[in-house]
Amino acid sequence: MRGPKVTIIGAGSFFTNAWISDIALADNMEAGTFALIDIDEERLELSKKMAEKLVSKIGTDWEVVTSSDREKLLPESDYLINTIEVSGVENVEKDYEIPKKYGIDQCIGDTIGPGGIMKAFRTIPTWLEILEDAERLCPEALVMNYTNPMHMMTLAANKGTDMEIAGLCHSVQGTSRQLANYLDLPYEELNWECAGINHMSWFTKLEHQDRNLYPELLKKAENSEIYDQDPIRFEMAKEFGYFVTESSGHFSEYLPYFRKNQDLIDSYCGEGYKGESGFYSKNWPEWRRTLDEFRRKWIKGEKVPKELKEDTPGLENFDPEKRSLEYGSYIIEAVETGEEVVVYGNFPNEGLIDNLPRDGIVEVKTLVDGTGFHPCKFGSLPEQLAGLNRSNMTVHKLVVDSILNEDRESAVRAFMLDPLTAAVSTPSKIRDMAKELFAAERNYIPDYLTK
């Protein structure tokens, strides 16, 4: 048997390192084909050499093939993993600096806020073209999307294709382990439930041996050494009752509370992922460079400086001999073997969470087996949490509607309803900002936005 064909689109991504080793390390999957696609020939070649070395070190019979032309490799694909980055390096500074002129200060700016909205306008049209080709060339393939803005990418995909698509992230599995660490408990003994939207899912149950852990968690957060590790998430848990899945700095962009002025940023936000102003804008181009440097050294067998791994997101925990927490390999293993696994995925709501819009995307517990994905009904979120989710879902819907219908006004109103943007500006000023962003990035976004 040839084994599965796993096609990775945007294979220059740092995620590719983990996916190759994760899949090759999985039980009962000793052979198959990794098809790597990227329009950047240099980075594609680096990914190919790294994949070949990983497969060789693990000792499996996976073949590695590459092409910058997706039409050559999409046929016979069993799984598509999407991790494209469309013109991000060219525009990340504009995504941050132009909104900053209007008082909107972002930390990450890739899933929500003006930066996330602009990334959607750059990325979703290409994503839909990829899916159109996939429907024609490998219609039975199971599609896993890792590219941000996750909610908008998954929403557009489900409106624009009939293929089976899951949006996947690592915030649920990562945060649940953080909570075990904060509580000083073995992770395996933690009993939890989680649901919401990507980067804004909520741990609605947090227990140990039938004991509610929230009073203990909030008590521990009174210790500044713990609170200062995650100030905004602890602040929101104290006031809204539940802990959220995304890091404090990134989560601050989803809310109208913590980034309205410099005093608030100084009070609640710290360095890096704790909420540093312009964190991605300042670092993303350098991270791409250090990722490529790491790959060149690792391929040649040279010693990789410790600081190179520690300072580049995605590399700090890279271990080619151990499967990562990313869901991709476990999903493929479950489908191939029929052995059920639980993941948390992003799917059309359709009644999964009763008090969120049915036409939106939600993140819920999902069973995966030989027949594919089976999202589990959650019920209703506490209303205060649903209200925060809905404020973001409206923005996401307006952006996707704008792209699918070529509706410029929907795009502008998405900016107007963005929680952080609305907290610091007026509708007319927000319209001015949108116009300026559209003009600055006109070579990378659909024409209807600049007319």
Q: Inter-axis angle of helices 88-101 and 279-300, to 10 degrees?
A: 160
Q: Beta strands 164-168 and 142-145: pairing type?
A: parallel
Q: Which of 394, 381, 343 is nearest to 195 (CA)?
A: 381
Measured at the alpha carbon of residue 364, what is the angle toward residues 363 and 367, in degrees to the nearest 5? Answer: 130
Whether the CB-CB separation of 418 and 429 falls below 8 Å is answered with no
Q: Which long-range contacts (CB under 8 A, 24 or more apart) does 216-224 make?
A: 216/183, 217/179, 217/182, 217/183, 217/243, 220/182, 220/183, 221/182
| Dihedral pair phi/psi, residue 345, rounded to 5° | -130, 165
Per-residue tokens: 327: 């869901």
The residue ranges of DSSP E strands in 120-221, in sequence order, are 142-145, 164-168, 191-197, 200-208, 211-212
Q: How far is CA 323 from CA 25, 58, 207, 235, 338, in A?
A: 7, 12, 27, 33, 19
Residues catalogued as catalytic: 170
On whether the CB atoms of residues 288 and 306 are closer than 8 A, the answer is no
